[in-house]
Amino acid sequence: MRTHTYLLVLLAVPALAQDAVPPPSAEPAPAAPLLDVRPGAVSPLDDSGGETGAPTSGEELLAACVARMPAERVLLSGHLNMRKAYGVTLREFDFAVDARLGDDPPRLRYDLTDAAGSNQLSVAAVRDPARGLVLSRPDGGPAPRPSDSVLGTDLSWFDVGIDFVWWRDPRLAGTDRLKGRTCDLLEVTPPDPTPDCAKARLWIDRAQKVVMQAVQLDGMGRERRRLWIRATQKVEGRWVFKDLEVETIGTGHRTRLHFDDVSFPDSRPAAE
C-alpha cells in the first residue's frame, strides 16, 4: 500500500532560525511566477529514516513537497486554543477542515465554532494558479486576507492554507539538523506584499520531502512568527500532523491547533 504525507500546515522551531537574512536590495529583481505543481500519489515514504541526495534547486525541492500532499479528500476536526505563557486561555474554538487538494484548482474549507456549537466563521480557500490563495466566505461576508489572523489568534490563513510551498523564488539556503534528521533550508517569497513577511524560511526533511518547520521574516531579517510541530501520527497508513503551535513574537501568547479526528472518506480499503 502506498503511503503519502499529508501536510496541511507549515511548521517551525525558533531555535533553528540562527542565520540572519539580509534586507532586500533597493532594486529587487522581478518575482518569478507562482509554482504550478499539483499534489498527487508518489512513491512510499521512507519510514526508516534513510536520507536521499541533496536537492539541486529550490524548485525541485518544493515540487517534491507538493507531490507528497494528498490528492484525495481529507477531513480533520479538532480544537484551536490561544493562551498566555502561563496557560491562561484567551480564545478557544472547535476547528474543522475539509481539504480537497487534488481538485483543479485545489480547495479547502474551514469551519470554526464555539463551545456551544455556534458557527463563528466559515472560510473557503481556493489556490488559483495566477492569483495565489483566494479566500471567500460562504455567508457573503467580507473575505479575510491570507495574512490575517484566524479569529484573533496567532494562526494565519497562510498557515492553514498550506500556501508557503507555492510561493515564489524558492532558494536553497543550506542545511540543518532537526531531531536527528537532515533538513534542507529553503527561503521563499510571498506572491504579493504581505505585512511583516518579506520571506519565509522552511526546514524540509531531506528523506521525507515534507516541510517540518518555518519562520516568517520581515524585510530586516527579523523573526515575526514561529510555527512548530508538537506531534504527528500515522492514520490509515498516512502521516498527518496532530498538534502544532504558533507564536507571534513579542505578544506573550501562543496558539495551539490540535486535531482529534482525521479521515479519508473517499479512500478505498487497502487490498489484503
- How sure is the predictor about 145, in pLDDT bands with cuts at 50, 70 and 90? very high
- Residue 47 pLDDT exceeds 80: no
pTM higher than 0.85: no
User: Taking residues 183-199, what's their average pLDDT?
Assistant: 88
Share of the chain above pLDDT 70, in %: 76
The 8-class DSSP code of residue 58 comes to H
The 8-class DSSP code of residue 72 comes to S
For the ranges 8-17, 98-107, 118-127, 242-251, the lowest mean pLDDT is seen at 8-17
pLDDT at position 10: 34
How far apart (Å, rounded) are the C-alpha atoms in residues 238 and 249? 33
Residue 23, number of CB atoms within 10 A of its CB: 12
99 vs 19: which has the higher pLDDT: 99
pLDDT at position 238: 63
First to last CA, the chain: 10
DSSP-derived 3-state class of residue 15: helix
pLDDT at position 254: 94
- How sure is the predictor about 44, in pLDDT bands with cuts at 50, 70 and 90? very low
How far apart (Å, rounded) are the C-alpha atoms in residues 106 and 8? 12
Instruction: Give the three cell numbers for residue 251.
Output: 505578544
pLDDT at position 8: 43
Sign of the CA dihedral 206, 211, 215, 216? Answer: positive
Angle (CA) 203 165 213, round 5°: 25
Domains and CATH numbers, the chain: 5-16+35-263 (2.50.20.10)
Instruction: Give the three cell numbers for residue 133.
Output: 490563495
The 8-class DSSP code of residue 236 comes to T
User: Taking residues 94-101, what's their average pLDDT?
Assistant: 94
- Residue 121 pLDDT exceeds 70: yes
DSSP-derived 3-state class of residue 177: strand
Residues across the chain: 272
pLDDT at position 239: 64
237 vs 31: which has the higher pLDDT: 237
User: Taking residues 124-151, what's their average pLDDT?
Assistant: 92
Helix residue spans in the chain (DSSP H): 58-67, 157-160
- Residue 174 pLDDT exceeds 50: yes
pLDDT at position 23: 37
How far apart (Å, rounded) are the C-alpha atoms in residues 187 and 32? 14
Q: At which residue does the C-alpha cell 469551519 appear?
A: 111
How far apart (Å, rounded) are the C-alpha atoms in residues 270 and 272? 6
How far apart (Å, rounded) are the C-alpha atoms in residues 86 and 90? 11
- Residue 21 pLDDT exceeds 70: no
pLDDT in tens, 59-88: 999 888 888 777 788 899 999 999 997 789
How far apart (Å, rounded) are the C-alpha atoms in residues 28 and 14? 27
How far apart (Å, rounded) are the C-alpha atoms in residues 66 and 161? 13
pLDDT at position 64: 87
How far apart (Å, rounded) are the C-alpha atoms in residues 217 and 187? 10
pLDDT at position 63: 87
pLDDT at position 141: 95
Contact 261, 95 (CB under 8 A): no
- How sure is the predictor about 194, in pLDDT bands with cuts at 50, 70 and 90? confident
